[in-house]
Amino acid sequence: MKWSQIEHALRKEFGPKILKWTVHNKKRIYVDIDRVQLVSFSRFLFETLQARFIIASGLDTPRNGIEILYHFDFLHLPQVLSLRVFIGKPDLAVDSIAAVIKGAEWIEREIAELLGIRFINHPNPAHLILPEDWPEGVYPLRRDS
Amino acid sequence: MSEIIPIGPYHPLQEEPEFFRLHVEGEKVVKLDIDIGYNHRGIEKLAESKSWDQVVFLLERICGICSTSHPAASVRAMEDLAEIEAPDRAQFIRTVICELERIHSHLLWLGLAGHFLGYNTVWMWAWKYRETVCDIFEKITGNRQSYAMFKAGGVRRDFQEGDIPWIRSCLEGLKPAVDMFRGAVMDDPVIHARTKGIGVLTPQQAKAYCVVGPIARASGIAIDVRKDDPYFAYDRVQFNSIVLQEGDVFARAAVRILETAESMHIIEQCLRQMKPGPVDLHVKALPPGEGIGRAEAPRGEVFHFIVSDGSNFPVRYKVRAPSYVNIFSNEAACVHYDVADAALILAAMDPCYCCSERMVAIDMDSGRSRLSGNDLLRLSHEKTEKIRNRMPAI
């Protein structure tokens, strides 16, 4: 599949649900979506377009919320597509994509404990890298901690 | 009723402490729980307090074996952010360093796999030949490990006159050794019996767990950052990306052995094509924005995501090492196989994991230890011996 076909398929499927489409350069594309679209967008990428989930990264922003980027790539293509989801405070929760993409299970657990995001319907929301006796409500990657 | 065999988390020989809980029924593994985080160093947080120049040194310390993979992804991320490209000669030098590292890492793994199987000659020989690669590193970078060669916009040291013919002569000596391994390991009927059809990860499982590197390529998934998103000088050299279909321990070993030969081929081409010239752009500052860098480490894709506000320090530094996804797939690869195979399957993921002597089987009723780590290594050796004795004289 060519990149132009992937872009076309995404625009056709999601159209106005894509809030912003930023081309940093021809290999790095950032797509902003609303958090309610996350699971259907990820499912379309992973199952229909056969994308590979690379990892997610969270960032505590000065805009009173946390931003999560879900990075995907495609077989034999140089492009990395990063899905950007903004989660405004105080309701720091988003649907888990681990039911669709098994490989996302660990990183969601990691983001949950480092940034304090609640992943709704996560299959195993246990501690991953912080100790079991880590104090509740302390999130190392939060700006206010 | 199943018993639980805890493995890990610490052992002085392994660089990555992990804790595996094998649930076994009789001889069969029925379930695996994995715990990580025993050696969480907070490097992402620490990176926010380092200047862009210092960050590369910090990241080089993530892994003690493939120490240059993280700097490779890091400088790519910074160059993606600043939209710059390092000079040609620097790109060739970076490629040579990355491929030398792949050779020494794969030889190290091969040695360990040999040890787990009870083939200590393979262990000794593989590590002996790895020394040659460490010697090359020592001469051209000053260090046998953590070479401190990469920086945004170039490399820190140029190759000296005389280095290139010397590297070439060292590699000439290494070639027959790698060929010997190819024959000794890939044609050995006992190794076939111990590793073929063991620890199979199907292409569907490999995709679901998002595995990378030799684990993905051994399961028929043709991903390789060097081919898919060429960086440094990889678009100017010819090489094969080794892809096999079986998905078992043997396929993972074969991918690594065949890749070692390809790496030597890549280095030769780089040395031939390198022209004199500058090796550094002397970058003074990075602009605000986001950058993504990827590199194909010996264990698979390393992924870095950075956010800059234009100051001298990263706002956010995200690192995804290949073992992070590969280790998780053990959950699927270990189930339905013998306990005697577990150490080998876990080791075949190459998470630098060699703590089998920490294994202890506990009787769930009494809580008493029944099987020590050395016993499990012995089980693996005995299984090899049994197979060897059943074979007609070789």
CB A21 within 8 A of CB A81: no
CB B187 within 8 A of CB B394: no
Mean pLDDT of B20-35: 86
Does B292 contact A at CB distance below 8 Å? yes
Task: In whole angstroms, give the CA distance from residue A69 to residue A97.
Answer: 13
A27: closest chain B residue by CA: B229
Across the interface, do B290 and A24 touch by the CB < 8 Å criterion?
yes
Is the model's pLDDT at B11 over the cut of 50?
no
Mean pLDDT of B284-296: 96
As given in the structure block, the two tokens for residue A56 are: 């997610």
Q: Could you tell me the pTM of the whole model? A: 0.91
Residue B363 pLDDT grade (very low, low, confident, very high; cuts 50, 70, 90): very low
**CA B290, A27, B276, B281: dihedral to nearest 10 degrees?**
-20
Residues of chain A contacting residue B208, judged by C-beta atoms under 8 Å apart: 101-103
pLDDT in tens, B87-104: 999 999 999 999 999 999
Q: Which residues have CB under 8 Å from B163's CB, separation 6+?
A: B139, B140
pLDDT in tens, B238-261: 999 999 999 999 999 999 999 999
What pLDDT score was predicted for residue B374? Answer: 66
Residues of chain A contacting residue B222, judged by C-beta atoms under 8 Å apart: 75-76
- Percentage of chain B lying above the pLDDT 90 cut: 60
Question: Among the listed ranges A62-71, B119-128, B289-298, which one has the minimum average pLDDT value?
Answer: B119-128
- What 8-state DSSP symbol labels residue B127? H
What pLDDT score was predicted for residue B13? Answer: 41
Residues of chain A contacting residue B301, judged by C-beta atoms under 8 Å apart: 54
Mean pLDDT of B63-75: 91
Residue B207 CB neighbours (<10 A): 21
Q: Nearest-CA neighbor of B304 among B313, B314, B312?
A: B314
Question: Which ipTM did the prediction report?
Answer: 0.96
Q: Which residues have CB under 8 Å from A29's CB, separation 6+?
A: A21, A22, A23, A79, A80, A81, A82
Smallest Cβ distance to A27: which of B223, B229, B324?
B229
Across the interface, do B83 and A80 touch by the CB < 8 Å criterion?
no
Is the model's pLDDT at B366 over the cut of 60?
no
Residues of chain A contacting residue B325, judged by C-beta atoms under 8 Å apart: 55, 103, 106
Helix (H) or strand (E) holding B91: helix B88-117
Smallest Cβ distance to B40: which of A30, A76, A129?
A129
Across the interface, do B208 and A102 touch by the CB < 8 Å criterion?
yes
Is the model's pLDDT at B369 over the cut of 90?
no
What pLDDT score was predicted for residue B12? Answer: 41
Residues of chain B contacting residue A77, judged by C-beta atoms under 8 Å apart: 228-229
**CA B359, B364, B368, B370: dihedral to nearest 10 degrees?**
-50
CA dist B142 → B66, B150, B157 (Å): 17, 13, 10
Minimal Cα–Cα distance from B391 to chain A, Å?
Answer: 41
Amino acid code (one letter) for A51 = A
Minimal Cα–Cα distance from B307 to chain A, Å?
Answer: 9
Task: In whole angstroms, give the CA distance from residue A3 to residue A5.
Answer: 5
What pLDDT score was predicted for residue B362? Answer: 43
Across the interface, do A75 and B223 touch by the CB < 8 Å criterion?
yes
Average pLDDT of chain A? 94
Residue B381 pLDDT grade (very low, low, confident, very high; cuts 50, 70, 90): confident
A126: closest chain B residue by CA: B35
What pLDDT score was predicted for residue B15? Answer: 53
What pLDDT score was predicted for residue B388? Answer: 78
pLDDT in tens, A85-131: 999 999 999 999 999 999 999 999 999 999 999 999 999 998 888 88
Residues of chain A contacting residue B42, judged by C-beta atoms under 8 Å apart: 140
What pLDDT score was predicted for residue B269? Answer: 97
Across the interface, do B36 and A128 touch by the CB < 8 Å criterion?
yes
- Chain B interface disruption, residue of A55, A79, A80, A82, most B CBs within 10 A: A55
Residue B291 pLDDT grade (very low, low, confident, very high; cuts 50, 70, 90): very high
**CA B40, A69, B210, B17: dihedral to nearest 10 degrees?**
0
CATH class of B81-284: mainly alpha
What pLDDT score was predicted for residue B393? Answer: 59
Question: Among the listed ranges B20-34, B87-101, B211-225, which one has the minimum average pLDDT value?
Answer: B20-34
Of B177 and B296, the structure prediction assigns the larger pLDDT to B296
What pLDDT score was predicted for residue B16? Answer: 64
Across the interface, do A103 and B318 touch by the CB < 8 Å criterion?
no
- In three-state secondary structure terms, B246 is coil
Question: Among the listed ranges A13-27, B274-288, B375-389, which one has the minimum average pLDDT value?
Answer: B375-389
- Percentage of chain B lying above the pLDDT 70 cut: 90
CB B314 within 8 A of CB B290: no
Across the interface, do A75 and B228 touch by the CB < 8 Å criterion?
yes
Across the interface, do A30 and B290 touch by the CB < 8 Å criterion?
yes
Domains in chain A, CATH or no CATH each: 3-120 (3.30.460.80)
Helix, strand, coil percentages (3-state) for chain A, rounded to 5, are 30, 35, 35
Instruction: Tell me the β-bridge partners of A25.
Output: A28
Smallest Cβ distance to B223: which of A52, A82, A141?
A52
Residues of chain B numbered 305-324 and touching chain A (CB < 8 Å)? 305, 307, 315-316, 318, 320, 324
User: Which phi and psi angles does B95 have, rounded to 5°?
Assistant: -65, -40
Does B229 contact A at CB distance below 8 Å? yes
Residue B66 pLDDT grade (very low, low, confident, very high; cuts 50, 70, 90): confident
pLDDT in tens, B167-212: 999 999 999 988 988 888 888 898 899 899 999 999 999 999 999 9
What pLDDT score was predicted for residue B376? Answer: 66
Residues of chain A contacting residue B224, judged by C-beta atoms under 8 Å apart: none
Residues of chain B contacting residue A107, judged by C-beta atoms under 8 Å apart: 320, 324
Q: Break chain B into its structural domains and give their ranges.
A: 3-39+337-390, 81-284
